[in-house]
Amino acid sequence: MAGLSQERGGDPRDRRWRAWTTATLLAIASGAALAKGVSAPFTLSVTVFPAFKDVVDCGTRQQGAAVSLSCSAGSPAAGTSPRFLLNVYRDGAQVGTVEGSTVPGTLTSWKVVRIADRDFVEIVVGW
Amino acid sequence: MKKILLPLVAASSILAAASAHAVTTPAQGFNVTVTLTSACTVSAPAAVAFTYTSGQVGAATATGGGFNVTCTNNLPYTIALDAAGGTFAAVNLAYTLSLSAAAGTGNGVAQPFTVNGSIAGSQSGTCGSASCNDTSARTLTVSY
């Protein structure tokens, strides 16, 4: 009878092993069922310009709401497209740059507009 | 006059008897059940675009990168990028990416996030002409 009882109930270590295995498999299965995800691809792009040459330094002067821009003497070499680079600072720390290309005489004005916690550079270009 | 009235009285008596015999069964309740499967959707981020001048002092920050996550109310989720950085091989510029937030809880409407990009300053890059372009493909995943 003792042998039969052992056969029906099984070795306690085997029962624990089966229970642990079952629980683990259930946990894995339920975890796999719960973990869902959706993905979205996106693109990075970069445009690289060579280092600046024939640099003309410009400074700003603020008079009330108006900011005037003045540059040192100099003009781009004939046939080249001037580019501009604005170093953007906030609270004394540089937070980035704004740059672009133009042609002589087309950049008529620019100003910095602060809205909430953002500074926007507005550049007026005449075509 | 009596001959006409009698049949009318008889007819109305029959109708009254029929009405008295209408039977109403007891009200029976029933259950309405629903199983709601939680879900999230994510829009493709706008292209993350950099402009960089060789050797520039400050870091270049990217434009674009905005996307929306829409999840079932109260459903928590996490957002991850497939990589936090990389290199534009054609122009030899290293960049880093980050998220405006890495997790959220659904509220049934589109919730805005941004992929922020940065290219550190003082990199020379590689470009043999007036300007050069390169692109790279990345993926973000919302898990819930």
Model ipTM value: 0.77
A38 touches chain B (CB under 8 A): yes
Rg of chain B (C-alpha set):
36
Q: Above 50 in pLDDT, residue B106?
A: yes
CA A119 → CA A108, A113, B28, distances in Å? 20, 6, 67
**pTM listed for this prediction:** 0.59
Residue pair A86/A107 in contact by the 8 Å Cβ criterion: no
Least confidently predicted of A99-113, B31-45, B91-105? A99-113
Q: What is the model's pLDDT at position B102?
A: 96
Q: Which of B53, B52, B54, B50 is nearest to B62 (CA)?
A: B50
Q: How many CA atoms lie within 13 A of B91 on its CB side?
A: 29
How close does chain B come to A33, measured CA to CA in Å? 11
> Which of A38, A43, A48 best probes binding to B when mutated, by most B CB atoms within 10 angstroms?
A48
Which pair of structure tokens corresponds to residue A44?
């990075």
Which of A38, A45, A85 faces B47 most closely, judged by CB atoms?
Answer: A45
Q: Which of B61, B136, B51 is nearest to B98 (CA)?
A: B61
How close does chain A come to B34, measured CA to CA in Å? 19
Q: Which of B47-61, B67-81, B127-141 has the highest mean pLDDT?
A: B67-81
- Separation of alpha carbons B65 and B17, rounded Å: 79
At residue A126, the 3 state secondary structure works out as: coil
Q: What is the model's pLDDT at position B138?
A: 96
Q: What is the model's pLDDT at position A24?
A: 56
Average pLDDT, chain B: 87
Q: What is the model's pLDDT at position B57?
A: 77
How close does chain A come to B48, measured CA to CA in Å? 5
Q: What is the mean pLDDT of residues B21-37?
A: 88
- Separation of alpha carbons B59 and A89, rounded Å: 12
Q: In sequence order, what are the residues at sequence separation of 6 or more whose Cβ sits closer than 8 angstroms to the Cβ of residue B112?
A: B66, B67, B68
